[in-house]
Amino acid sequence: MAEITLDRIVAVQAAYIRCIDSNALEGWPDFFTDDCLYKVTTAENRNNGFEAGIIYADSKAMLIDRVLALRQANIYEKQSYRHILGLPTIVKNGGNEAETETPFLVVRIMHDGQSDVFATGVYIDKLRAQGDQLKFASRIAVCDSSRIDTLMAIPL
């Protein structure tokens, strides 16, 4: 079957972070397949073979719950975030799935305007074509630093 083009991969990666950074979180779960895996972990955890990570969800329903919880916590007043994605690598591509790795950098902007590097790492993704849409069947956000805020206010 045809390969998934770079254009489509760029489009879904860019749309995903646009959704988060514009605080349109209710649309975030729709980037995933129903039976998705979503995980935030650290490079150290990963190297040590620890599966758990910081955030773990294995269905779209769990992601919807997470958004509800974040909205109730009403944390957004305090800061905003800006994701910058580097160029993606296509590790595997064929049939209706592509495996990609995309470096990320997240800057946190505090209410007083102070900006700092909040997180860096790499998204390890399995993308699946569903009709003309591309969904995350699996997204593992591997953070470089082990000092990640466990009360993380936003999805990565």
Residues comprising the chain, all counted: 156
User: Phi/psi zone of residue 139: left (φ > 0), alpha (ψ -120 to 50 degrees), beta?
Assistant: beta
CB 17 within 8 A of CB 117: no
Min dist. Cβ of residue 61 to a second copy (A): 27
Nearer to a second copy, 133 or 145 (CB): 145
**Residues in touch with a second copy (CB under 8 A):** 6-7, 10-11, 13-15, 17-18, 21, 43, 80, 82-90, 101, 103-105, 107, 109, 112-117, 119-122, 144-148
Residue 15, token pair as written in the block:
């749309």
Min dist. Cβ of residue 62 to a second copy (A): 26
Min dist. Cβ of residue 126 to a second copy (A): 17
* Integer Rg of the chain from CA: 15
